[in-house]
Amino acid sequence: MHVPDHVSSHLGTLQLAPDTVSYNLKRPCLYEEALARNEGRLAADGPLVTRTTPHTGRSPKDRFIVRDASVADQINWGEVNQPTDRATFDHLHARMADHAEGRDLFVQDLYAGWDEDYRLPVRIITEKAWHSLFARNMFVQPDGPVPDSFEPSFTVVDLCEFEADPARDGTQSEAAIFVDIEQNLILIGGTHYGGEIKKSIFSVLSYLLPDEGVLPMHCSANESDDGSTAVFFGLSGTGKTTLSADAGRTLIGDDEHGWSDRGVYNFEGGCYAKMIDITPESEPEIYGTTEEFGTILENVIVDPESREPDFSDDTITQNTRGSYPLSALPHAAQDGQGGHPDHVLFLTYDAFGVLPPVSELSPAQAMYHFLSGYTAKVAGTEAGVSEPKATFSTCFGEPFMVRSPAVYAELLGEKIHRHDADCWLVNTGLTGGPYGEGHRIELTHTRAMVDAILDDRLADVPRSRDPVFGLSIPDRVPGVPSTLLTPRQTWDDPAAYDRHARTLVEAFADNFETYAGRVSETVRTAGPSLETAHG
């Protein structure tokens, strides 16, 4: 494969000989390379099956951002956005360059974003062929050959076999995800988990785009035949991918989007779906991708003889994943773009089992819940998380949001107001009791509620106000038992519901103290109130 001079001479400050670089290989070639290097094995119908152990999810404690004068006042520093200095970054960079010397590397020149006015040219350098395939699946490919004039705005150097030394490298483990915004460079080492590649670029976009009036969103998006667009905010495991992959609507994307003055556009060229317990009946469109050439199945167990995947087997992790191009889905948008959202849905996995499964939000409540981002970390999506854990993730994507939450909240509020979008809170988590006692709300019921929202069939349905959380609950939803809509009625012990609800209300109040002095009184008082809680 010919490597253009501008690529071979300078790869993200790694000086490499052209004969060690495979440039923009397509899927069949990457399959051949991955199999020849024992990076994975073939499943029965064509997917490439890989393992990422010991890292089967993101490593948030291993991500650092270089703190220099150009970004110091713009980043929300803390446990999520951990600072490092330029000397530490440069030292790690030099060590990784030494590791790369003489190794075969794979390069993909791609784009983050379908909207040509806002897309980010990215160069992904990997030492694994399957990681190059992952990048090719997950980012937007140029139309035709990559032009010789291609200049990356950011470069990702992904050397998963490199292991950092905390004592030498200023890291917390053998894994390292280091972002240098000033030098437009990202270093990833010590982890085989493919998701680190795409999430590192999402973090960069969350820093860059607000200055252009674009809201970066951790959400999925789809649209109807008449162009009515919906976005689904939520952390991994809350149902973004599942609920947006609807045969009756066109999928714009399943995870990362921007909301510009023209509408919504996908950052990605593919999907990265959870595969645990997937069946043809529950998720037919996503299941179909598991029978496609080009799909990558991470940490999925396959039969050693038949090579049939067993999606119910969580021996390695609950966070089994499938990476596939949008073109593998029969109802995906060809241009990755849609109009301004008519409906904004916040998806939450409520581990307490006390939030209603569906409720409409006022604009102030939408701002409150966007800033709160209540959900649960679901087993396997992060290192060290083995069971659901209640948490607050501001903007429903705190791990990826680099600036102050107020920056994103102000953009969302302005766009909701300007485009008159309806907002909803949808609990895809538990009912009838807390984790260990209750059960997850059936997917068929959640789909029925979402369908009713998107089809505007709840517009004229009477509402009841939830006395604990102050939410507006529809009195009926087609295809959903009415008792399910009022969570207290699903518990055998109403007093136990009251106790757990009060605990969650207190958690909301404690968490929102962070924002109390930075939002209007209307937003601050739009959340649940201890005074109205039962008991």
Q: Express each pLDDT in 423-443 by its tens digit.
A: 999 999 999 999 889 999 999
377 part of the active site: no
Average pLDDT, the chain: 92
Per-residue pLDDT tens digits for 262-314: 999 999 999 999 999 999 998 999 999 999 999 999 999 999 999 999 999 99
Q: Where are the beta strands (DSSP E) in 181-225?
A: 185-189, 215-223
Q: What is the pLDDT of residue 361?
A: 97
73 part of the active site: no
Per-residue pLDDT tens digits for 104-157: 999 999 999 999 999 999 999 999 999 999 999 999 999 888 988 899 999 999
Q: What is the pLDDT of residue 10?
A: 43
Helix (H, G, I), strand (E, B) or coil at 410: helix
Predicted confidence band at 385 (pLDDT cuts at 50, 70, 90)? Answer: low
Which listed residue (56, 84, 236, 446) is catalytic? Answer: 236
Which listed residue (67, 131, 321, 369) is catalytic? Answer: 321
CA atoms within a 13 Å half-sphere pointing along the CA-CB vector of 119 = 25
67 part of the active site: no
Q: For residues 73, 76, 82 and 84, what is the CA-based torsion angle, rounded to 10 degrees?
A: -10
199 part of the active site: yes
218 part of the active site: yes
Which listed residue (218, 249, 274, 445) is catalytic? Answer: 218
Mean pLDDT in residue range 492-505: 94
86 part of the active site: no
CA angle 35, 269, 299 (to 5 degrees): 40
Mean pLDDT in residue range 496-507: 93
CB 299 within 8 A of CB 56: yes
Q: What is the pLDDT of residue 4?
A: 54
Q: What is the pLDDT of residue 147?
A: 87
> Is 70 exceeded by the pLDDT of residue 231?
yes
In three state form, how does the secondary structure of 5-65 look?
A: HHHHCCECCECCCHHHEEECCCHHHHHHHHHHCCCCEECCCCCEEECCCCCCCECHHHEEE
Which listed residue (255, 342, 350, 466) is catalytic? Answer: 255
Which listed residue (240, 257, 274, 500) is catalytic? Answer: 240
Mean pLDDT in residue range 77-81: 96
Q: What is the pLDDT of residue 246?
A: 87
Q: Where are the beta strands (DSSP E) in 75-207?
A: 82-84, 105-112, 120-126, 154-159, 176-180, 185-189
58 part of the active site: yes
> Is 50 exceeded by the pLDDT of residue 185?
yes
Which listed residue (8, 55, 58, 500) is catalytic? Answer: 58
494: part of which helix (H) or strand (E)?
Answer: helix 494-512
Q: What is the pLDDT of residue 533?
A: 55
Helix (H, G, I), strand (E, B) or coil at 274: strand
Instruction: Please give the structure tokens belonging to residue 362.
Output: 């006022």
Which listed residue (128, 192, 198, 199) is catalytic? Answer: 199
274 part of the active site: no
Task: Tell me the Cα Rg of the chain.
Answer: 23
Axis-axis angle for helices 27-36, 129-138 (nearest 10): 150
Query: Which residue segments constitute the domains of the chain, with CATH numbers given?
Result: 5-37+63-192 (3.40.449.10), 215-269+336-524 (3.90.228.20), 270-328 (2.170.8.10)
